Structure 1
Amino acid sequence: MGQIIKGKPVADAITEQLAKDVEELKGKGITPKLTIMRIGENPSDLSYERGALKRYAKVGIDTEVKAYPENISQEEFIEEIKKVNEDNKTHGILIFRPLPKQMDEDIIKHVISPEKDMDCFSPINVAKLMSGDKTGFPPCTPTAVIEILKHYNVDMKGKNAVVIGRSMVVGKPVSMLLLDENATVTICHSRTKNMAEIASKADILVVGVGKAKMVTKDYVGKDAVVIDVGINVDEEGKLCGDVDTEDCLERASLITPVPAGVGSVTTSILGKHVIKACKAQNNL
């Protein structure tokens, strides 16, 4: 029977380090600051925002939320981003995505300053992620996956890692980060044949497709480590992941739950990115 590994201990360990880093920066007269730019009132954005504000208030990272109406024009929003880019007090920017339909993300992603882009929106940070350049900012959720594996002492070196999903939100970036840890990575997607068979050979299985409880025990090899990045709502209106946790527990050695798994680590990673950006911008 496998063990459920939660995100909270990982988040708490990172938060403890964040508090020390902030104290050190404040000793030098610098206060790290994150500016969140949100369009509209998407419930999942608001929930993430609340979690972030609460965590950063504890560690001493300054936060400012700039909320805009759902119908803001692209030109206006671009001007707003430029203002925050130029604000010396802001070290990190988080823009909630997806953006509303009047926005062209392919234009806006070139506007945000790569040095302040905390969630890999800028093509420069995407290129750094792909090339293994550690000065960039990889997306927070895939980075949380790696932090969880490290926290629970899962050795990635030389292991077979299978990633289900190829989006730029989870699949592709987490594959690159696993490669950086010297895992051997296979990416599965909607056109993959014999997906369950391929997945069942994995030492580490990362799932991020957005299909409730799609992954059953047939996908899981004996003693595999399963990381569930999906967030869905089941028929009963409850939050669930892409993995049928109960079903997979008898095969997996370690498995993350939904909720209380990967999602609970992402705000801590965002905080880590803010500290890193603050240090870089102050030549520390």
Structure 2
Amino acid sequence: MIDLKEQAGVAMNVRGQFSDPIVDPKVTLGALAFANDLGRALVRMKAGQDTRPEIVRRATLLLAQMIRRSGKFNRGKFTGMDRATKRDQRAGREVERSNVDIVERFALRLIVEWIDDQCPRCDGRGVIGRAQAPQPVAVVCSSCNGTRRVCVSEERIPFAAGRNGPRVYREFSRCEACLGRGTQLVTPPKSEGRQICRSCGGDGRRAIDEAARAQALGVPLRMYREHWVESFQSMLAVLDQVDGRVVDTMRRKLRP
């Protein structure tokens, strides 16, 4: 039995891969219509797999409006400009305006992370099973020890002996085992049984990419770490609450 959001995804018939039977699609979508605008957009994107630009844009603007109304993110404070840039702006100099509305950038990044939150390695399961083939890894070539060449001949020259004995003449050629690369791709043996996914630690969620967050906001990584880490955590939790209220609303409207 699939949950209410997946039922809505089936009813929308937007690139869905669900096959379980559901109740009347019109009844399901009718119940979804009683949810708020942002909640409906989130369900449409995540469950219905409808990520058209206009849908994403509308959800971004709705979330940005919610963020501004919260009182924590006012337009004047979060402009994406540092103190030096603001000082130049007050002095009448031209400033870069690409980061003016950082609230919308923040909202868009939140929506992207909330929708695409599954670990790509284990597909959100948290474990890796027997069927998954191990990935090849590069190891130092055992024939040349990473030097990329091997000795093919060695001659001692007695008449050219020095203080340390006869001089040794060696001839080298490219290592054929690694084709001169110094490394070889080795496929580790397939593991037995299921194992916890190393990428997500077993929770099935995509790892946080701090550099991508800072780039999306248009701020230096240092500034993101100082001012934005807690904001991302709290607002992602808010999106979970909005999603939960959608399910509660649909359950009430579908109750006989």
Same fold at TM > 0.5: no
Q: Could you state the TM-score of these two structures normalised by the residue count of structure 2?
A: 0.30
